[in-house]
């Protein structure tokens, strides 16, 4: 892994978002182990600014989301009915998630008069819903890969069967599952106290979970780019 690879990745929207995400959660984590209260406040402020930068970038996500929805259509190209159904529901959730978050952002910045707490809670619920659907879809993909492996084991190796490639795909789906479960665990903590485990996590605990999840995401993204470059 070299600086050229990271530089190319940072030239993409996904790359900048993932690195901003990592910095945001790493700052939250660092705020739990400060040398002084002033240092803790600085880490929290830095983390908040990085998170805010991501929200501003997402103001431009609506058109790509609509394009994705139109391109996917009813998902006829997806052979598995379960994944197709989950993806269609997720597309619907994400289509509403963006505008709700935009309205909340506008309210927080006093651009429009709204109940920011209510819109903030709605944003978190859409976030949780999107993560949950992604997790279910990924678990299904992993199950299908395991089923494929068992099928090849019973019937004998197909000439097209690449066991190492299949194992790599399985491991990749497992890492995605781990990342999504970490994201879900701290996303719920943003809910109001009394709702599941809302409000139970401290800033550094959220930071720890988010940092691990973010590093997994960066590792997967860069590994994929390396594999594509070497293929």
pLDDT digits (tens, 9 = 90+) for 129-140: 999 999 999 999
Are residues 176 and 138 in contact, defined by beta-carbon separation less than 8 angstroms?
yes
Q: What is the rounded distance in angstroms from the CA atom of residue 40 to the CA atom of residue 31?
A: 4
Which sequence spans correspond to the domains of the chain? Answer: 1-58+210-231, 62-200
Give the tens place of pLDDT for each residue, 146-185: 998 887 766 655 555 677 888 999 999 999 999 999 999 9
Give tens-digit pLDDT for 6-58.
999 999 999 999 999 999 999 999 999 877 889 999 999 999 999 999 999 99
Phi-psi sector, 34: left (phi>0), alpha (psi -120 to 50), beta: beta
Q: What is the per-residue pLDDT for 57?
A: 96
Give the Cβ contact number of residue 110 at 10 Å: 9
What's the pTM value of the predicted model, to 2 decimals?
Answer: 0.92
Burial grade of 221 (CB within 10 A; 0-12, 13-18, 19 or more): middle
Say what the alpha-carbon torsion angle 10, 16, 21, 22 is, to the nearest 10 degrees.
10
């Amino acid at each position: 892994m070299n600086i050229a690879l990271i530089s190319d990745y940072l030239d993409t929207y996904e790359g900048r978002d993932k690195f901003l995400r990592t910095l945001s959660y790493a700052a939250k984590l660092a705020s739990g182990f400060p040398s002084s209260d002033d240092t803790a406040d600085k880490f929290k402020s830095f983390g908040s600014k990085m998170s805010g930068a991501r929200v501003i970038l997402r103001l431009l996500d609506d058109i790509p989301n609509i394009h994705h929805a139109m391109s996917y259509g009813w998902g006829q190209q997806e052979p598995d009915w379960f994944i197709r159904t989950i993806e269609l529901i997720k597309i619907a959730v994400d289509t509403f998630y963006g505008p709700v978050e935009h309205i909340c952002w506008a309210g927080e910045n006093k651009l429009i008069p709204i109940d920011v707490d209510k819109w903030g809670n709605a944003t978190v619920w859409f976030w949780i819903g999107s993560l949950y659907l992604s997790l279910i879809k990924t678990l299904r993909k992993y199950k299908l890969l395991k089923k494929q492996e068992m099928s090849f084991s019973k019937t004998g190796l197909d000439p097209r069967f690449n066991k190492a490639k299949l194992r790599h795909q399985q491991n990749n789906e497992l890492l995605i599952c781990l990342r999504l479960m970490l994201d879900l665990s701290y996303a719920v903590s943003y809910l109001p106290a009394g709702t599941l485990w809302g409000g139970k996590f401290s800033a550094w605990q959220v930071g720890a979970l988010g940092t691990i999840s973010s590093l997994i995401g960066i590792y997967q993204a860069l590994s994929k780019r390396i594999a594509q470059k070497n293929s």
